Amino acid sequence: MNVVEDTRRGEVTVRDLSKSFALNGQRLPVLRNLQLDIRGGEALAIVGPSGCGKTTLLRILAGLDRPDTGEVLIDGHPVRGVGTERAVIFQEPRLLPWLTVLGNVSFGLTVRGLTQAEAETRARHYIRLVGLGDFEAAYPRQLSGGMAQRVGIARALTVQPEILLLDEPLGALYAMTKLTMQEELTRIWREEKVTMVLVTHDLEEAIYLSDWVLVLPKAKGALPRLIEIDLPRPRDRSESRFVAMRKRLMAEFGLH
């Protein structure tokens, strides 16, 4: 009897995945023959120089774009488009300007058929979770960039996805808020038992949050590398093994 299989939901498998774009009449290869296995409940960070295909990979995982070849499997089922077991947190908050914070956070739930009242009850929980309890009635134009991004995070969490796909979600945040949100994301990840795929340009953030770091190279011929972050949690940024790991990751980019 296999007990493990039931709890391991949110498993992501990427097989032979390639994607190129048309650029000035030529093909620009972005992802080549990528293989990846993420077990349910794991956290993977994707890092790499700008333009290396991080967003492209995330969009394919989300089902928003299709690969040229290869496939993505979620719990063994091939991805054919967006799916209710996945939620995306985009680089920009993408809030609906005519809805309040509460309306925006309820949006995903009402789209999925919950009544407004049910949706709002659940939305309120996540609004408090991201620390915006006092801003339920505010409109997006009244929020700072960081607050707006937190609304986007809350909105994605409401639908209780198995897999959370995040594209540099904290990139625009103020340094202190960023640290708090990293802690929050770790807590959410642990409590909600989601699989997390996080694109980031912040190596420290990658080490702090994830079990694995996928380094996508930009140079032709270079291969993607998968590095395990085998550090105990909760993680301490100043601890020696953390620092050593950061050095190792920086070396991947030729930095010291």
Partner 1 sequence: MTFQSLDSSPVASVEVPPGAAILRRGAVAARTKFNRYGLLLAFLAFWQIGSTQGWINPTVFPPLDKILAATWEGLVGGALLDDIAISLQRSGLAFAAAVGLAIPLGLFMGQIRAVEQALDPILQFFRQTSALALYPVFILLLGLGEASKVFVIFWATLFPILLATIGGVKEVDRKLIEMAATFGASRTTIFRRVVLPASVPSIFVGLRLSATTALLLLIAAEMIGANKGLGFQVMNAQYNFQIPQMFAAILLLAALGLTANALLVTLQRRLCRWADLTH
Q: List residues binding Mg ion (CB under 5 A).
A: 55
With CA atoms as reference, report the closest residue to 104 among 55, 60, 151: 151
159 binds, options partner 1, ligand ADP, Mg ion, none, Cβ within 5 to 8 A by partner type: partner 1
Q: Does 21 bind ligand ADP (CB under 6 A)?
A: yes
Nearer to partner 1, 102 or 229 (CB): 102
| Contact (CB, 8 A) for 29 and 18 | yes
Q: Does 61 bind partner 1 (CB under 8 A)?
A: no
Q: Report d(CA 217, CA 219) in Å as an integer.
A: 6
Return the residue nearest Mg ion (CB atom): 55
Calculate the CA 142 to chain-centre distance. 26
Nearer to Mg ion, 95 or 166 (CB): 166
Count Cβ atoms below 10 Å from residue 96 Cβ, excluding itself.
12
With CA atoms as reference, report the closest residue to 33 among 54, 14, 58, 7: 14
144 binds, options Mg ion, partner 1, ligand ADP, none, Cβ within 5 to 8 A by partner type: none
Phi-psi region of 88 (alpha: psi -120 to 50; beta: other; left: phi over 0): beta
25-84: which residues touch ligand ADP (CB under 6 A)? 30, 48, 50-56
Q: How many residues bind ligand ADP (CB under 6 A)?
A: 11
Starting at the earlier edge strand, list the strands of the sheet with 69-74: 26-38, 12-23, 69-74, 77-78
Convert residues 91-110 into a mask of x (bound to partner 1 by CB under 8 A) and - (unbound): -x-x-xxxx-------xx--
139 binds, options partner 1, Mg ion, ligand ADP, none, Cβ within 5 to 8 A by partner type: partner 1
Nearer to ligand ADP, 56 or 149 (CB): 56
**What are the two backbone dihedrals, phi and then psi, of residue 205, each rounded to the nearest 5 degrees?**
-60, -40
Q: What is the dihedral of CA 64, 201, 133, 103, to 10 degrees?
A: -20
Nearer to Mg ion, 131 or 217 (CB): 217
Sequence-ordered strand ranges (E) for 26-97: 26-38, 43-47, 69-74, 77-78, 86-89
93-152: which residues touch ligand ADP (CB under 6 A)? none
51 binds, options Mg ion, partner 1, ligand ADP, none, Cβ within 5 to 8 A by partner type: ligand ADP
For residue 204, the surrounding DSSP H or E stretch is: helix 203-209
Which of 44, 159, 185, 227 touches partner 1 by CB under 8 A? Answer: 159
Q: Which residues bind ligand ADP (CB under 6 A)?
A: 21, 23, 30, 48, 50-56
Q: Which residues bind partner 1 (CB under 8 A)?
A: 62, 64, 82-84, 86-88, 90, 92, 94, 96-99, 107-108, 111-112, 139-141, 159
